[in-house]
Structure 1
């Protein structure tokens, strides 16, 4: 029998609302690899197995496009938890170590350091650094387990920037695969995210979504 020190920590839900809407893209953070169209190959997590479960979820707040991504070119998605409405995300049931390693790779760091999730779970929000994805949030609860995500400290203050076609295509894959949305619904959702327009309109975005 395992000693108390050897008992695995309870899994948590990680909610991806940008490119990690796509389960295939999330696998590159876990098992390693290069997502189609990306400029970076990821080393993968220390625990490279599949998530224990995958669910479509809605997060409070709005998703917007900003910053300039060296991985994708163009803007990437940020969650403003104080924004209006709700946003679509894909929730993955992962170990705390997997969550830590996904977060590290999002910040261009090597995986290997466990985040202390206790302060986050106690307060609902924790800033672990100044970076674009270093503000952690408890975005809700699913089947008795916390739903965790991360964003910028003040997403609404970021300068809007339209995303690249490959980034939008990756989000579209997740909206289709995890949420079961049709092409027109995907176009409407992505166009509703601040920063997409005016560079993207319905016709151009439909070409990306239908691929």
Structure 2
């Protein structure tokens, strides 16, 4: 297996400025956490907007943003809008470790890196929120992976700052306008519990391109 893999982001990491906190460390505006960063803080070699089968859902409780956390549901009808970042396998593992508030380069990160070559569909490295690795096919001959929860749970509405980052990333990765971003987000389980389509449009018109 090549050392390069695609990490497919679908939540706030869609936005490059926010994802950079996972790579080089830092605290994103609106977030309640300082990230240590990867052992290798190098920026992604490339990025690309991708659409994969499945869907976006919000559930649980985000310790960074408040409200529900974003998850990928591979069994959902429709398409998930993601952003693929070309990283090293070790960077992917360190991102996965930070999602679970674990140390980059620690035992969990090493376990994720070790299992990647054998993941053909889904592989649960643990039972935590982002401990299921999903292979999403290939892009330009290299494997695409994302991480999610094996059991997503009851829908919960996401927080405003979280939605702003996700919207920013959708604009960056896919070039969508505010109406399309709002429609996509509103269709995700959890969002409608706290946001009308009109409220989303108002939110995004005020900051879909700015983030934070």
| TM-score exceeds 0.5 | yes
Match of 1:115 among 102, 108, 111: 111
What runs of 5+ residues in structure 2 fail to find an aligned partner?
A: 207-212
2:156–2:193: 8 Å Cα contact kept in structure 1? no
* C-alpha RMSD of matched pairs (Å): 1.5
Q: Which residue of the partner structure matches residue 42 of structure 2?
A: 49
1:121–1:138: 8 Å Cα contact kept in structure 2? no
Once the two structures are TM-superposed, the CA of residue 88 in structure 1 deviates from its matched residue by 0.1
Match of 1:176 among 158, 171, 174: 171
1:137–1:150: 8 Å Cα contact kept in structure 2? yes
Q: Which residue of the partner structure matches residue 4 of structure 1?
A: none
Q: 2:144 aligned with 1:147, yes or no?
A: yes
Q: Which residue of the partner structure matches residue 19 of structure 1?
A: 12
Q: Which residue of the partner structure matches residue 197 of structure 2?
A: 202
Match of 1:130 among 102, 108, 127: 127
Partners of 2:34 and 2:113 in 1: CA distance:
27
Q: Which residue of the partner structure matches residue 32 of structure 2?
A: 39
**Bigger Cα Rg:** 1
Q: 2:66 aligned with 1:69, yes or no?
A: no
Partners of 2:105 and 2:114 in 1: CA distance:
18
Task: Pick closer, same or farther for the CA change 1:34–1:116 going to 2, 3 Å.
Answer: closer
Aligned to 2:91, the other structure's residue is in SS state helix
Match of 1:186 among 171, 181, 187: 181
C-alpha distance after superposition, 1:7-53 (max 9, x if no partner)? x9521000001111111111000011111100001011000010000
What runs of 5+ residues in structure 1 fail to find an aligned partner?
A: 1-7
Once the two structures are TM-superposed, the CA of residue 195 in structure 1 deviates from its matched residue by 0.7
Task: Give TM-score, length-normalised by structure 2.
Answer: 0.91
